[in-house]
C-alpha cells in the first residue's frame, strides 16, 4: 500500500430507514493506487462510493481526503476537491455528441463568466479553446477520436462506457470512482477498458477506486482490494492477501452468485 494516503474512511456507517447498508467501515487508499471494492450484490459497494462523493451522507464516520477530514462531503464539494465518478448505469447526455459530453466534464474548469460566454468577450474565447484542447486530449487518450462528433446514444454500449470515463477524466480528478466500469462488456472490451484504467493511473497519476465483479480483472488490475459483505468489511489487502483470506473465501470468492 502506498505510504501517503489520499482517501481515508474512518468508521463509516450508513442506513436506509433503519436498514444498515454500511456498518463501521474503515480503510485507506494511497495516492496513485488502484483500489477495488468487491463483494456480493447488496454488500454496500455502490453505497460506499456514493458516500465518498457526497451523494449520500453517512450516519457516522469521517471521510479524509487529501489530508483534510470531512464529516459530510457534499457532491459539489467532492467535484471541486477533485473527485470524479462514473455510474453503474450509463449516465450520459445521449442526445449530445461525444465531444459535447466530454466538454461537460470541464464545467468546473471554466474561468469565464456566463456574460463573457454569452457575448464571447473577455476570457471566453481563450477559455473555450483551452477547454476544447483538454477535452480533445482526453478523447485522444481514450482513442475515441473517430466518434468525436457522433451522437452518444447511437454508439455501442462499450463505447458509451468509454465516453463516460472520458467525461470523468476531463475533470482532471485526483480520485476517480468507477462503478462497474466493465459491466456488460465482452472479454475484449474488458481488456481494453482495463488498459485504459491502468494508463490513467500511469500517465496522470490518478488514484482509482473501482467496483468490479470480474475477479480475474480485479486481481490483475488492482494494487489493493477491499472486500465487503452485508455492509461490513471482511477483507483488506493486496490481491494475493485477499485471495488467501478465509473470510473472503467464505463470503465471496468460494461461492457462486
Partner 1 sequence: MANDTLPNWLIHHATTQPKRVALRYKKLGIWHEQSWQNLRGEVGQLVDILDGIGFRRDDTLVLLTHPRREALLLSLAAQWLGGVAAPLDPSLEANDVALLLRHLNPAFVFAEGQEQVDQTLASSRPDVRIIYAEARGLSAYPQATLQHYQRLLQDTPNASRAPLSEAAQIAFSLYRVNGERNVQVESFRHDELLKEGSHLVFAERLGRHEEALAARVFATSGHLRYLLSPWLVAGFTLNFPENIATRDADRRELGPTLVAGTRETYQRLESLVKARLPVPDSLAGRLVTYALRPDGSFLQRFLGHWLVKRPLRDVIGFSRIRVPLLIGPALPVESLNFFKSLGIHVRTWDKVANWHTLSTTTSRQVAPVRDAHSGKISKAS
Contact positions vs partner 1 (CB under 8 A): 99, 132-133, 136-137, 139-141, 145-146, 148-149, 199, 202-203
Residues 6 or more apart in contact with residue 192 via CB below 8 angstroms: 158
- Minimum distance of partner 1 from residue 83's CB (angstroms): 25
For residue 154, the 8-state DSSP code is G
Quickly list DSSP for 38-55. E-STTSSHHHHHHHHTTS
Q: What share of the chain is helix, strand, coil (3-state, %, to 5)?
A: 40, 25, 30
Dist CA 142 CA 44 (whole Å): 30
Q: For residues 88 and 150, which CB has a smaller minimum distance to partner 1 in the complex?
A: 150
Grid cell at residue 50: 456514493
- Minimum distance of partner 1 from residue 141's CB (angstroms): 8
- Minimum distance of partner 1 from residue 199's CB (angstroms): 7
- Minimum distance of partner 1 from residue 252's CB (angstroms): 33
Residues 6 or more apart in contact with residue 64 via CB below 8 angstroms: 5, 7, 8, 9, 10, 70
Q: For residues 199 and 220, which CB has a smaller minimum distance to partner 1 in the complex?
A: 199
Place of cell 488514484: 207
Q: For residues 37 and 169, which CB has a smaller minimum distance to partner 1 in the complex?
A: 169
Nearest C-alpha neighbor of 6 from the set 37, 28, 39, 35: 28
Q: For residues 89 and 133, which CB has a smaller minimum distance to partner 1 in the complex?
A: 133
Dist CA 108 CA 34 (whole Å): 25
Q: For residues 65 and 196, which CB has a smaller minimum distance to partner 1 in the complex?
A: 196
- Minimum distance of partner 1 from residue 14's CB (angstroms): 39
| Radius of gyration for the chain, computed over Cα atoms and rounded to the nearest angstrom | 19
- Minimum distance of partner 1 from residue 123's CB (angstroms): 20
Q: Which residues, in sequence order, are bridge partners of residue 85?
A: 177
Amino acid at each position: 500500500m502506498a505510504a501517503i494516503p489520499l482517501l481515508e474512511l474512518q468508521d463509516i456507517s450508513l442506513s436506509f430507514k433503519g436498514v444498515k447498508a454500511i456498518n463501521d467501515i474503515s480503510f485507506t487508499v494511497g495516492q496513485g493506487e488502484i483500489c477495488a471494492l468487491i463483494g456480493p450484490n447488496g454488500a454496500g459497494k455502490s453505497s460506499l462510493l456514493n458516500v465518498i462523493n457526497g451523494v449520500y451522507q453517512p450516519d457516522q464516520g469521517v471521510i479524509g481526503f487529501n489530508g483534510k477530514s470531512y464529516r459530510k462531503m457534499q457532491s459539489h464539494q467532492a467535484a471541486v476537491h477533485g473527485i470524479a465518478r462514473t455510474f453503474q448505469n450509463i449516465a450520459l447526455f445521449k442526445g449530445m455528441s461525444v465531444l459535447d459530453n466530454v466538454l461537460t466534464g470541464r464545467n468546473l474548469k471554466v474561468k469565464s463568466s456566463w456574460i463573457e460566454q454569452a457575448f464571447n468577450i473577455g476570457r471566453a474565447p481563450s477559455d473555450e479553446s483551452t477547454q476544447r484542447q483538454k477535452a480533445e486530449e482526453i478523447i485522444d487518450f481514450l482513442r475515441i477520436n473517430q466518434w468525436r462528433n457522433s451522437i452518444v446514444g447511437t454508439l455501442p454500449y462499450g463505447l458509451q462506457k468509454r465516453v463516460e470515463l472520458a467525461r470523468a477524466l476531463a475533470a482532471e480528478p485526483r480520485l476517480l470512482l468507477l462503478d462497474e466500469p466493465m459491466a456488460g462488456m465482452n472479454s475484449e472490451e474488458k481488456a481494453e477498458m482495463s488498459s485504459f484504467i491502468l494508463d490513467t493511473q500511469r500517465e496522470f497519476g490518478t488514484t482509482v477506486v473501482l467496483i468490479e465483479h470480474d475477479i480475474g480483472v480485479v486481481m490483475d488490475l488492482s494494487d489493493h482490494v477491499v472486500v465487503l459483505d452485508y455492509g461490513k468489511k471482511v477483507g483488506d489487502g493486496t490481491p494475493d492477501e485477499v485471495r488467501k483470506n478465509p473470510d473472503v473465501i467464505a463470503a465471496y470468492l468460494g461461492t457462486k452468485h
